[in-house]
Structure formats: structure tokens, C-alpha cells
Amino acid sequence: MPGYAARRLGFAVLQAMFVLVATFAVTALLPGDAASVVLGEQATDEQVATVRHRLGLDQPILDRFGHWFSGLLTGDLGRSLVTGAPVTEEIARRFAATALLAGVTLLVLVPLALGIGVTCGLREGSRIDRVLTSVTLFLHAIPEFVLGLLLVAGFAVYTGLLPATAAGTEPAARPEVLVLPVIVLVARQLCDVARQLRIGIAEQTRGQVAGHLRLLGLPERTVVLRHLLPAAAAPAVQQLARAVEGLLTGTVIVESLFAFTGLGTGFVEAVQNRDVPQVQGYVLTFAVVVVLGNLVADLVAHRLTPQREPAKW
Amino acid sequence: MTRHPLTRRRLLALAALTPLAACGTAPADTGRLRVAFAAGGSKETLDPSQVSLFVDQARAKALFDTLVAYNADTSLRPRLAESWESDDSGTRWRIRLRRAAFHDGRPVTADDVLYTFRRIADPALASSSRQYFAKVDFGRSKAVSPAEIELTLTAPDFEFPSGWGAPGAEIVPAGTTDFTAPVGSGPFRFVSFTPGGPAVFRKNESHWDGAPGIDELEFVPVNEEAARVNALLSGQVDYAHDLAAGTAARLAGDGRVSLLEAKGTTMQGMMLRVTRPPFADPRLMRAVLSGVDREALNRVALAGRGEIGNDLFGKGLRGYATGIPQRGRDVEAARSLVRESGAEGLAFAVETSDVDPGFATAATLISQQLGEIGLKVTPNTRASSTYFSEIKTKGVAALTRTATLPVPTFLNQRFRTGGSNNVNGFASPEFDALMDRAAATPDESARLALFGDAQRIVHESGGLLAWGFSTWTIGVSKRVSGLVSAPPNTFDWARFDRARLS
């Protein structure tokens, strides 16, 4: 297993490098640069040229990449072209906000998906299975933006039960601002994870092992929790890993709708500002999240299904 | 003693009640005004010389003061400058300061003003307000006394004081280079700020213009317009800046908010590059100007809430040429101009972007309307964050907009040969000479008449299609009083020291 993990990690580093180079090239192809964006509508060519020189944007792209990359090797992600502040500072601040949102979402998502997945899987085709499946599918099908606006209209604007946005609040100090965004995020992810579990449980419960264990007279709870669930969970864990990645990298819509200053909106902003060091910092963060998420998921799946050794590559 | 065992049911009931009890609506704070603006994220700054966003300008206005400020029509009112006068040539200006103090107690002196203007004029700073001070000869300018400054210009300019009220001309204490926790002389003191995050300011009890009516002012970044409106409606913020026309119509009957609407604040137009084909042919430029339907554009792209334009900037502002007849749609005349220049079926693109909510609709409508005079026009959508820098060099026709600023400033930037923002490439020695003569004319009405003549030239051949003026809308909670509608950049806009909370 350590060998497997090491190979996976090595390959992941190569992937991340490729993504970084590609990002640098693509950002260079975008129209305009940080100098023109920062100075705004009224800037003269002369002012743009001054700022461009100050930021080093008048240097060849390979030099800029080389400079950035040598910084990366020493753990320095560089400074924002726009603010001059270290890239790590801004990303760390936004990562904290996003991680809080993602963490609370997981706390709700995992038990809920487990409950629904197991219930539906054990009673495949029953009335409760059909109802729960329809509900989660329905939630999955509503665009996040629409669901968010509906919830805000109902729970914030008309009844005043919950805050409409996180604007101007520290989410850690006023946790109620998390309620509506978490509902939207859970609604989005619940369907996939629960359905994976449902299929796994349904397959297992029909299988010979389950029948044998039940014949041996083991209590149903033990059969499900000790034997069916671990075997059924492997694909669901993979799905959950994807959900975590999604929560940590792509919640732009939820973040902007609820005025959260997280990674998603930060990344969009960095691209709009043509702030290349910042963009690269985000891409690196996302790459690490995706790689780690998949690695952990694979290792967990590996552990859950020890009999299936992954193919060598 | 009776004990209540913590049963599962009890726990559930408690859990269901807690959020209700804990949150309710936002705290009804009577001392703190919360204002929501679209923000620029990490590019925000408290350095007043670097303002490029409305939120930067609003914050600068709270922390700092300018020498003068614009009334709604861009005429001037004194602020830190108590009075000013020039010599007969218009090259030497003497400014007397009122008694005012920075937040740390130091008085605002002539040295601070000189330092500020010299700083803005420094090309290395690349300040957006640099152009207003480019003509100042700092070697020959001096502090006459702590309360009196003498500025010397390299060329006469009787409109020079206008620049002192421009966004970005706020006075900072001499020697300031760091703006992370700035000291100003404005109605509010700095408390905290993170770029892209909230900013909190506290009232300056000893402000020369009287202490503000609120204890604290908090700027809250909310980029999504829907989120801004929701935050306002649910009481999380008291002021939501920049609402779309559709939203304004929807909120008009809502008892929880009042709308501050400033008519005619932003010129909506299309610029034609007169140096390149096809608009190097003035007949085609004229064809486009009389081929569009300004009424229809106003009705559709501005939701009927704006006003039509007459291909000139600054309707309602000081110096706007009111005597020029309104240009209307004349399909026949436009068609024959197209035929005459042999351009029937000519294809070109209108550059547009979603930088302004009305642009997309306007581009489509203009394309259709010009189709009716025999041109094949297609909208070309560009990235919004770099749109205005891109259209400086690319394309022949581009949608554009300009917020409130003095008419002479606009004319100098946009139409003077080599002007700082002359994207049309317009060059007319006659126009330049008129602008110079106007700047050197001491008598105000004679000067404005000359600016009027300059606008006549631009109206004929400048290549600007100013089809409308949009309305600027702000939503304010009913518990706020003391705010009035005003165009951005003018004195009353985002003037939060006048606000009161109930």
C-alpha cells in the first residue's frame, strides 16, 4: 500500500505541473493584463505602461514563468500583482471561509446520505425508496441559483427567520449565516452520494454473503453496519471525494449569491484582474485539493476492499 | 426538585428552536449604518489617488476631504478651500484653506495640499487623477502661509479648480506613503479594512463640517446584485448601491425600501473611430448617427427609465450645449448617405461587453436599426474586466459609457488631439484652439459659450453617438433618513455623514 500511495502521489505531482504550465499559458492568452485592469476605464496608455513596467509585465513570458517557478520551489507563491500582498495570505483567508462552509456541509451531508442510501438500498423499489429517490433527484435538478433565491425569498426576505447573505458578518461568529448556503450545497451533492450507497447496499443485500449472515442469525443491524456497509461504501467514498473537491473548488454560485468571500469567487476575481500569481496560487490549491481528495478516497476504498488489488500501471 | 431528563424529543425541540431565537433578523443597530457596494476584491485600496471603483471613491469621501466638491450640475462648492482666485492670466492660483484638522489632530495646511497634488502629478504613481494636475509647475508653486497656497500653471486655465473636486484629489497629510490605516480630514476615522472585505469607520466628532449623524459606517462588499437587494430587503444592510432598472421597477412599491434615483447620470453611447475605415468617411459616420432610434434604445435598453441623448456628453451639467437641435432618426437620409459612400451591405462589428447591464440589449438593437439603413452590423462581446482598455485600440465602433464629470474635462479627454482618452482618434485644430481660448477666458459665461462652440464641432464630426443617459438607482432602508439622490462623483452621492438612523 505505501508503494501504491507513492506512485499515485508522483503521478499527481506531474499532473499538477502540467496544469500550472497550461494555466500560465492560457492566462497569457487572455486579453489585457493586470496593469490595464487595475487602472480602470480612464487610464492613459502612458499610465498603463508605467504600471506594467513596475509589475514586470513587460518582461518575456518565459522569464516571468521561470521567476514564478523558482519561487514555487522555495515555497514562495509570489505576490499579488494587484495588491502586492503575498498570494498565500489571500488564499489562506479565503480557504478558511470555504473550508468552514464545506466542513459544515459534510457534517450534514454524510449522515443524511448514509441514512437515505441505506434505507433505500435495503428496501429497493419500495414506496419509501421511490419517494426519497424522487426528492433527492428533484433537489439535484434545481439549479443552485434558483434554489438559493427561493430559500432566501422564503426564509430571509419574507419571514426574516434567517440572514439572507453573509454580507458583513464573520460566519464563525454568526453561524446562522451558514444555514441557507449549506442547504443549497447539500441539496446539490446529496443525490449522487446517496444513490451510490443505495446501489451498493442493494447489491450486497441481494448477495450470498448477506443471506448467509442472516441465516446465521446475526442481528440485521450488525449485518448492515459490519458487513454490507463497508463493502457498499467504496464507490460512495469516491463519490464523496468528488463532492468534497467540488465544495472546495467550485462553489462560485453559492458564494456569490450569499456574499461569501471564498475560494470560488476569489479565483474568478483573480482571473478577471489578470492577477497571474494569484491565479496560479488558486490553481495550485485546487490541484492539491483534488489530488489529496482522490488519494484519500482511493486509499479508503483500497482499505474497504482489500481483496481487490488495483491493477499495476 | 423536579428534573427534566434530556429526552431525544426534548433535544429535537430545542434544536429546532435555537436558530429562531439566536438569529431573527439582523441586529437593529441604531448607531451603525451598513452600506453594500459591488466591490473589486483584492484590488481595492484606501489610497485616494488610486480610486477606480465607486466603492473606493465612497470610502475616500468618508475618510478624506477635497478642496472643493461638485454640486449636482458639476458647479463647485467650497470644502477644505474656503476661497480661491486667479490672476488675470489664469496661470497663477491662490487658495485659502479653512480651519480643519486631520484625525490625529494636526491642522490641514498648505504643505499637505502641495504634497498631495505633487504626489498625484507624479507619473510613477500612475494616478487616474493625474491629468488634472499635469499643467502645474511645482517648482514655482509654494505655500504662502500655513493657510494659503499659490499654484502656478504652465498654461492659462480658468477651469483649473474643477480638478480639485475630481475623484482622487482628496487631501492627504504631507509625507503619507502608506494607506493601510490612513489618516484623513474626512467625517469618518479609519477603524478597520481588508481589500475585498468589510471596512469599518467611526465618526469624527471634530469634523469642521459638524459631526456625522451616525456612530459607525460599515462598507460591506456584495457583488451579486440579487444578493445586494436581498441583504437590503432582509435588513442586513441599510443601503444597496447600483440597482438595475428592472430591480428598481420591482422595488418601487415595496414598503421596506425607498429608492434614490439620479436621472441622467451616465452617458450611454457608441464611439466611432473616425481615423479608420469605414468611419474615416464622414458620410458613413453621419449615416450611423441618424440611423439609430434613440427613443427605442431608451425604452428597451434603459427600461424607459433614462433620457434620450443628443450625441453630446453631460445633459443637465454646467456647460452642456443646450442650443444644438436634437438629432433624431431619419432612415431615408441615412440610407442615401450609405448609398452615396458606396457602402451598401458593408459589414462591421459593434464592440460590447456585459460591463454595463444595458450594453447587450443596446448592441442588438443598434445592429437591427443599422440593418434597416443597409449596413450589416454584428455585436462582438468582449471580456468585461478589460473591455475599456481593449477598445482603445481594437474595433471601429464600440459601446461606451461615461459617469458624471465636468463637461470641459470630458471634452479635453475625449476630443482634444492626443487627449488622454481620445479613442475616436478625433483631431481638429479648430476644436483644440477653441478649447485653449475657452480655458484662457476669465469671464465664465463667455467661457461656457466657447465650450458650447467646441461641442458644436464634436456634434458634427466627433464620432460620438450619445443615444441616452441612464438613471442611477440606490436602494435605502426606510430606517435611514438624510440621504438624497445625486449622480456619482458629486457632493451628495455616498455622503454618509448626513445620514440618520431610526
For chain A, what percentages of helix, strand and coil (3-state, to nearest 5) are there?
A: 75, 0, 25
Which residues 353-412 on chain B approach chain A with CB closer than 8 angstroms? 382-386, 388-390, 392
CATH code for the domain of A135? 1.10.3720.10
**CB of A31 less than 8 A from some CB of B:** yes
> Is A162 a member of any domain?
yes
Portion 215-234 of B in contact with A at CB < 8 A: 218, 220-224, 226-227, 230-231, 233-234
Number of folded domains in chain A?
Answer: 1
What cell was used for B224?
Answer: 451579486
pLDDT, tens only, B356-407: 888 999 999 999 999 999 999 999 999 887 888 888 888 999 999 998 999 9
* Number of separate helices (H) and strands (E) present in chain A: 14, 0
Dihedral class, residue B279 (left if φ above 0, else alpha if ψ from -120 to 50, else beta):
alpha
Partner-chain contact B383 A40, CB within 8 Å: no
Assess if residue A291 is contained within a domain.
yes
Distance, CA of B216 to chain centre: 25
Question: Smallest Cα–Cα separation from A202: which of A91, A311, A121, A112?
Answer: A121
Distance from CA of A95 to the nearest CA of B (A): 14
- The string of pLDDT tens digits covering residues B168-224 is 999 999 999 999 999 999 999 999 998 878 999 999 999 999 999 999 999 999 988
CA B396 to chain centre: 25
Report the pLDDT value the prediction gives residue A12, as an integer from 0 to 100.
79
What mean pLDDT, rounded, does chain A reach?
A: 84
d(CA B281, CA B279): 5
Mean pLDDT of B92-96: 97
Q: Which residue of A has its CA nearest to B41?
A: A269
Confidence of residue B25 (pLDDT cuts 50, 70, 90): very low
Which tens digits make up the pLDDT trace of A237-288? 888 888 888 888 868 889 988 988 889 988 988 888 888 888 989 988 888 8
Question: How many C-beta atoms surround the C-beta of residue B334 within 10 A?
Answer: 25
Please state, rounded to an integer, the average pLDDT across all residues of chain B. Answer: 90
Q: Which domain holds residue A106?
A: 93-304
- What's the rounded Cα separation, in Å, for the pair B221 and B387? 23
Distance from CA of B228 to the nearest CA of A (A): 8
Cis peptide before B278, with omega less than 30 degrees from 0? yes
Does A23 fall in a domain?
no
The answer to whether the Cβ–Cβ distance between B233 and A157 falls below 8 Å is yes
* Residue A44 in domain: no
In a domain, A37, yes or no: no
Q: Could you tell me if B83 lies within 8 Å of chain A, comparing CB atoms?
A: no
Question: Is A139 among the domain residues?
Answer: yes
Interface contact A159, partner B, CB < 8 A: no
Q: What mean pLDDT is predicted for residues B252-258? A: 88
Q: What pTM, to 2 d.p., does this model score?
A: 0.84
Range from A45-54, A105-114, B91-100 carrying the lowest mean pLDDT: A45-54
Give pLDDT, residue B442. 95
What is the mean pLDDT of the segment spanning B88-108?
96
